Amino acid sequence: MVGPPPLQGLKVLEFAGLAPGPFAGLLLADAGAKVLRIDRHARGDSSAAPTPDTLTRHKSSVVVDLKSADGVRLVSELAKTADVIIDPFRPGVLEKLGLGPDVLCAANPRLIYGRMTGFRRDGRYATMAGHDINYLAVSGVLSLLGRSGEKPHAPVNILADFAGGGATLFQGILLAVISREKTGRGQVVEANMVDGANYLATFPRHLLKTPTGDRPRGENVLDGGCPYYDTYETKDGKYMAVGALEPQFYAALVRGLGLQREHWVARRYDRETWSEMRRKFEASFKSKTRLEWERIFDGTDACCTPILEYSELEADADRGGDQRPAVTLRETPCLAVEQNVTDTVTLGQGPGVTGRGYTGNTLAPGEGGEEALSSWFGLTRGKDFDVENGSYLLKKSKSKL
């Protein structure tokens, strides 16, 4: 018998922010938590409008004017019975509003106050602005990324923003939930993207002291220096990925490439052979299309797979185009990940971009907010709160909380 999602009943207040905070909220929402996003009131200024957010599955929203005393009072009251708060702002922002952990945790000792910064709160960069590339840079991780002889190259903002930031904060919140079961008390959970990214690089940092990773960036086994752990262009301009590290996997690779006569299997660790090996790998992969190579390597242990683009995944369910929760709990599964949704999303000042499947639903500011306040917090519009000019505020009279 399948039970409810693992975090059902957990009430989360997520202050709208850039991607890492909403991603932590998304992970909680996918696991069944009730996540209420607190969007900022625009005050008629389009530049102050909430940043369009596609990480909104299973969430609701209220618009709150945090420059208004009544708006701040509303958040304070909601926090009295909330389980988790997600603070994505730079240090001191919510404290100046009277919504810092000292105030809210005193009013609700069970509250888990999750806050995330880019740089460390106590480091030399604590007061500075930054983005994913900056956090990777000072964590040391960026020094590991890129080809030999080229400048360090930051990937799309997965490593610091999402893995080191949002996912790490999510982990910290879950640890605090477990701790609360033992102690009955919540606590402040602090995450930063520098330490998060650095922690993810624990294994590569260890490799720096071993023959596997002690050479300059891009010249090691796992960073593009090794010909049988690399990517190769095919005849049609697409690419294949090769990761044939073990001898039996390497043997299957060279057989598939038609290069078994080169007698490299026993000498694959000999770097003197790598330049010639790479040249022949490149020539071989260039001789066939990606589809032809797929037909050769599918079902084998050659560790040779196509590099698929998201447009291909979205168009072909057989390739695994559906996105699924990161883990499967058999008895208390997470909520479904919606697919095949078409939305137009505007990011920054650029044009709207229409996507399918991986774009996700956008959540309009205030969408589902009244229902959430009623069903999650027991508040009634007109009695406990009002909506004025699109902004939610607590009435002067005493609330139900």
Q: Which residues are catalytic?
A: 161
The two structure tokens encoding residue 243: 């990761």
The two structure tokens encoding residue 398: 């005493």
- Does an H or E element contain 30, and which? helix 20-30
Per-residue CA distances from 41 to 46, 51, 62, 392 (Å): 10, 12, 9, 9
> By 3-state DSSP, what share of the chain in percent is helix, strand and coil, each rounded to 5?
35, 15, 45
Per-residue CA distances from 308 to 250, 261, 286, 362, 376 (Å): 22, 30, 17, 26, 42
Distance, CA of 235 to CA of 185 (rounded, Å): 61
Dihedral Cα 204, 205, 208, 213, nearest 10 deg: 0
